[in-house]
Amino acid sequence: MKQPLIQARDLHKHYPIKAGFLKADQSLHALAGASFDLYPGQTLAIVGESGCGKSTLARILTLIEAPTIGQLTIDDIDAGTNINSATKKRLRQTVQMVFQDPFGSLNPRQTIGAILQEPLLINTDLNAAQRQQQVLQMMARVGLREEHYYRYPHMFSGGQRQRIAIARALVLNPKVVILDEPVSALDVSIQAQVLNLLMELQQELDLAYVFISHDLSVVQHIADQVLVMYLGKPVEHGPSNAVFAEPQHPYTQALLSATPHANTDQKQQRIKLTGELPSPLDPPTGCTFHPRCQHAMPACKTDTPDMKERHNEISTSCLMY
């Protein structure tokens, strides 16, 4: 049986906030208790509203930041709170990232060849000819032609630039790729092409993906597992088909009710979330979702629900169960 490439257990990330004159310092809990396993060839989608902790989790998984509390193992190596710089450098070849904006993530002053060679220049001992050969092979894999090697980013469309960004992430032969909203800046027709490319590359190279998105129709197309987050906390986690068929948490139900369906015969009642997303500096007591939940009970204001498996391999943190 395959071993998980990433094992995350109760990951937390706190940011100290310096207060002004006569005010006490505060701590912003951007991430509070994320746990999951990610296997080769599998896609874990992390979904939720802005400010739910998706990008914070991505920064921890790509070793840009260390968790404040919790255990993180990447490729059987401890990558948690006490990771040293040598281990971090080694693991950065294992985990690579594709950013949301293909326009802003590429250096406009470098040719595509130079952009794609840079990771190899920093992390390997390959000579110039070997680096060029490896880059050209990766360009062909993502659907770019050899003549593109000497061109600059402004000469490409959004979809082509995202292909370049994917090639840059894969040129070091990573095992895990973090995809932070990789298609949200693209036209719908181009989104499908890039998603299909990602799925082909995953099958070919046995890659594990962490796919961060707010677009549930895209998530349904690509994900094997779904982790739903609200205000830094996981509220639902399970197989994608089970979560989309029978969402257990009221927040997941509300998100899915707002997702358009191609099947117009399938009638679905829209669940409207009332109120604003609370501040992570001052989260509600008990269940953090209770001020906006249509099923809230008095106990939800005081009791914090645990994340437990409830139904059909779906784990949920909700007092209704």
Report which secondary-structure segment, H or E, holds 252: helix 250-257
Summarize pLDDT for 145-167 with one digit per residue, the tens: 999 999 999 999 989 999 999 99
Summarize pLDDT for 204-243 with one digit per residue, the tens: 999 999 999 988 888 998 999 999 999 999 999 999 999 9
Q: What is the pTM of this model?
A: 0.90
pLDDT value at 269 more than 80? no
According to DSSP H, which parts of 80-238 are helical?
A: 85-91, 112-123, 128-141, 158-170, 188-205, 216-222
Chain centre distance of CA 28: 20
* Helix pair 128-141, 158-170: axis angle to 10 deg: 130
d(Cα 123, Cα 223) in Å, to the nearest integer?
30
Average pLDDT over every residue of 46-51: 87
Lowest mean pLDDT among 99-108, 191-200, 209-218: 99-108
pLDDT value at 194 more than 60? yes
Long-range contacts of 278-284 (CB under 8 A, 24+ apart): 278/231, 280/28, 280/29, 280/30, 280/51, 280/231, 280/232, 281/17, 281/26, 281/28, 283/29, 283/231, 283/232
Q: What is the Rg, in whole angstroms, of the alpha carbon atoms belonging to the chain?
A: 21
d(Cα 235, Cα 256) in Å, to the nearest integer?
14
pLDDT band with cut points at 50, 70 and 90 for residue 183: confident
State both tokens at 75: 């490729």
279-to-30, 161, 299, 307 alpha-carbon distances in Å: 10, 35, 21, 22
CATH superfamily label, 6-94+174-316: P-loop containing nucleotide triphosphate hydrolases (3.40.50.300)
